[in-house]
């Protein structure tokens, strides 16, 4: 947990400096700290947050770093800037979860599945990966393959290709969710996810993987994972049996 817990005691707010040694950028830490602050009982609708100079000094960051965090919350409508009043809590909408929290749920939902296989290789990028990553010439990329399902049978076969520009190595813990691999191993925060579903029939390879009959219908979900500034970080291709359980992507407002 980041070192930015706040404690209300005798109407005084006690601040702890952010973790300057963390791989998480300081502006993201400050953003999450502010979200926690706004959720506190002391900060209701229309209440101004502490002055930037004071906040920056007590969090041991620059004012520009703090402003980056505040601007994100202003953009979301959580905070509003008012003349002669400073920056205030809008109160017009709940404080949303961070992009990373949503990304964890959206990229790899917790279905409670059993893990059958995990295979990591260094292989030539697929044609779709070539286009998505914007690579002119086919190169080798890190590729993670996973087979999940119930104790009775496999239900989902997933292929993840990582952008070759990312510092992903064999030393990563590939059992972790994709969001954690990108954040902890590459210092990259997921900013956007696009998902495209379509149907295919199982060929001999997919039928063997998913223990079904060749020609059976499969649901394919292509997930395009982007980092900051539209950086194409990873491409996920998930093959599901047509009778596999469905899941819901839920955005939680905490």
CB atoms within 10 A of CB 173: 9
> Is the same domain home to 31 and 140?
no
Please provide the size of the chain in residues.
254
Q: Is residue 189 in some structural domain?
A: yes
Same domain, 58 and 113: no
* pLDDT value at residue 12: 41
User: In three state form, how does the secondary structure of 88-152 look?
Assistant: EECCCCCCCCCHHHHHHHHHCCCCCCEEEEEEEEEEECCHHHHHHHCCCCCCEEEEEEEEEECCC
Residues 136 and 237 in one domain: yes
Residue 240: partners with Cβ closer than 8 Å, 6 or more residues away: 155, 156, 218, 219, 220, 221
Buried b (16+ CB within 10 A) or exposed e, 66-80: bbbbbebbeeeebbe
Q: Locate tokens 């400073």: which residue?
A: 86
Domain shared by 13 and 81, yes or no? yes
Measured distance CA(156)–CA(244) in Å, rounded: 8
| CATH (domain of 223) | 3.40.1410.10
Total tally of structural domains belonging to the chain: 2
State residue 162's pLDDT score: 95
Tell whether 25 is covered by a domain. Answer: yes
What pLDDT shows up at residue 239? 94
Residue ending a domain, choose from 94, 125, 140: 94
3 state DSSP class of 196: strand
Decide which of 76, 94, 112 is a domain's last residue.
Answer: 94
In a domain, 248, yes or no: no
Residue 47 to residue 79: CA distance in whole angstroms: 10
The residues facing 233 across adjacent strands are: none
Same domain, 111 and 45: no
Looking at 70, 94, 118, which one is the last position of a domain?
94
Q: What is the pLDDT at residue 65?
A: 84
Q: Domain check: are 33 and 73 in the same one?
A: yes
Q: Is residue 39 part of a domain?
A: yes
Domain that holds residue 27: 7-94
Instruction: Report strand pairing: 12-14 vs 114-124.
Output: unpaired
**Residue 114 sits in the same domain as residue 46:** no
Q: Give the pLDDT of the chain (254 residues) as one tens digit per residue.
A: 333 333 333 234 455 678 887 767 788 788 888 887 777 656 666 778 888 888 888 888 888 888 888 887 776 778 887 777 788 887 655 555 444 444 434 445 444 556 678 888 889 999 999 999 998 888 999 999 988 887 777 889 999 999 999 888 766 778 788 888 888 778 888 888 998 888 999 999 999 888 889 999 999 999 999 988 889 999 999 999 876 555 555 444 43
Whether 209 is covered by a domain: the verdict is yes
Domain co-membership, 83 together with 115: no
Handedness of CA 49, 41, 18, 96 (dihedral sign): negative
Does one domain contain both 75 and 107? no
Q: What is the pTM of this model?
A: 0.55
Q: In this structure, are 81 and 189 located in the same domain?
A: no
User: The CATH number of the domain where 64 resides is what?
Assistant: 1.10.10.10
Tell whether 246 is covered by a domain.
no
In a domain, 252, yes or no: no
Long-range contacts of the stretch 134-141 (C-beta < 8 A, 24+): 134/232, 135/164, 139/164, 140/164
Same domain, 148 and 52: no
C-alpha span between 188 and 75 (Å, rounded): 21
Q: Same domain for 158 and 88?
A: no
User: Does residue 190 sit within a domain?
Assistant: yes
């Amino acid at each position: 947990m980041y070192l930015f817990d706040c404690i209300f005691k005798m109407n005084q707010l006690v601040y702890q400096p952010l973790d300057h040694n963390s791989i998480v950028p300081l502006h993201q830490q400050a953003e999450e700290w502010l979200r926690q602050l706004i959720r506190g009982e002391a900060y209701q609708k229309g209440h101004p947050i502490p002055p930037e100079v004071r906040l920056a000094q007590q969090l041991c960051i620059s004012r520009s770093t703090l402003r980056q965090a505040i601007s994100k919350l202003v953009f979301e409508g959580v905070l509003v800037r008012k003349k002669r009043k400073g920056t205030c809590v809008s109160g017009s909408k709940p404080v949303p979860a961070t992009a990373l929290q949503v990304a964890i749920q959206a990229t790899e939902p917790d279905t409670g599945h059993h893990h059958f296989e995990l295979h990591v290789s260094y292989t030539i990028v697929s044609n779709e990966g070539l286009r998505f990553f914007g690579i002119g010439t086919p190169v080798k990329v890190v590729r993670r393959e996973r087979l999940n399902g119930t104790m009775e049978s496999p239900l989902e076969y997933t292929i993840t290709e990582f952008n070759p520009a990312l510092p992903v190595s064999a030393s990563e813990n590939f059992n972790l969710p994709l969001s954690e691999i990108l954040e902890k191993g590459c210092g990259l925060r997921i900013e956007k996810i696009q998902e495209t579903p379509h149907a295919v029939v199982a060929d001999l390879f997919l039928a063997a993987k998913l223990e079904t009959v060749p020609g059976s219908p499969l649901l394919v979900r292509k997930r395009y994972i982007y980092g900051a500034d539209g950086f194409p970080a990873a491409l996920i291709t998930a093959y599901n049996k047509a009778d596999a359980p469905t899941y819901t992507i839920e955005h939680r407002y905490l």
